[in-house]
Chain A
Amino acid sequence: MKVAICVTENKGLDSLVDSRFGRTSGFVLCDTETEECEYLSNEQNLNALQGAGVQAAQNVVNAGAQAVATGFCGPKAFQVLSAARVHIFQDCKGSVRDVLQSIREGNFSSSNMPNKTQGHW
Chain B
Amino acid sequence: MKIAIASGKGGTGKTTVAANLALALERQGSVVLADCDVEEPNCNLFLQMEYSREEPGVLPSFSCDISRCDGCGACARACRFNAIASLPDRPLFFLEMCHACGGCVLAWPHQAIIEGTRNNGVIRHASRGNLAFLSGLLDVGEAMATPLIRQMKKNLPPAEMVLIDAPPGAACAMIEAVREMDYIILVSEPTPFGLNDLIIAMDAVEELKLPFGVVINRYGSGDDALEEYCISRGVPIIAKIPYSREIAEAYSRGELFYNLFPELGKIVDDLAGYLREGGWKE
Contacts and interface: CB of A to CB of B under 8 A. Distances in A.
Interface of A: 48-52, 54-55, 57-58, 61-62, 76, 79-80, 83-84
Interface centre among B76, B81, B82, B143 (most CB of A within 10 A): B82
Contacts of B84: 54
Interface stretch (B32-40, B87-95, B106-114, B119-127): B87-95
B81 A79 contact: no
A42 to B, nearest CB: 13
A54 B86 contact: no
A51 B87 contact: no
A58 B86 contact: yes
Interface of B: 73, 76, 81-88, 90, 92, 94, 97, 143
B94 A54 contact: yes
Contacts of B92: 79-80, 83
B97 A51 contact: yes
B87 A84 contact: yes
Contact of B85 (A49, A52, A57): A57
Contacts of B83: 51, 54
B87 A80 contact: yes
Contact of B97 (A50, A79, A84): A50
17 contacts: A49-B81, A51-B82, A51-B83, A51-B94, A51-B97, A54-B82, A54-B94, A55-B82, A55-B85, A58-B86, A61-B87, A76-B94, A79-B92, A80-B85, A80-B87, A83-B92, A84-B88
The interface residues of chain B, by DSSP majority, are classed as loop
B81 A58 contact: no
A48 B79 CA distance: 13
Contacts of B94: 51, 54, 76
Given A76-B94, A83-B92, A50 B87 contact: no
Contacts of B76: 58
Contacts of A58: 76, 85-86
Contacts of A49: 81
- Most central of B84, B88, B90, B94 by chain A CB within 10 Å: B94
Given A51-B97, A54-B94, A58-B76, A83 B81 contact: no
Nearest to A50: B97
A2 B271 CA distance: 67
A49 B143 CA distance: 12
A17 to B, nearest CB: 23
A48 B87 contact: no
Nearest to A56: B82
A90 B251 CA distance: 49
B64 to A, nearest CB: 13
A50 B94 CA distance: 11
B82 A48 contact: yes
Contacts of B81: 49-51
A113 B143 CA distance: 23
A51 B90 CA distance: 18
B277 to A, nearest CB: 41
Which 6 A-B residue pairs are closest in the complex by CB-CB distance? A51-B82, A80-B85, A55-B82, A54-B82, A58-B85, A84-B87
Contact of A83 (B73, B87, B97): B87
B47 to A, nearest CB: 34
Contacts of B73: 62
Nearest to A51: B82
Contacts of A76: 94
Contacts of A62: 73
Contacts of A50: 81-82, 97, 143
A117 B12 CA distance: 32
Nearest to B84: A54
Contacts of A52: 82
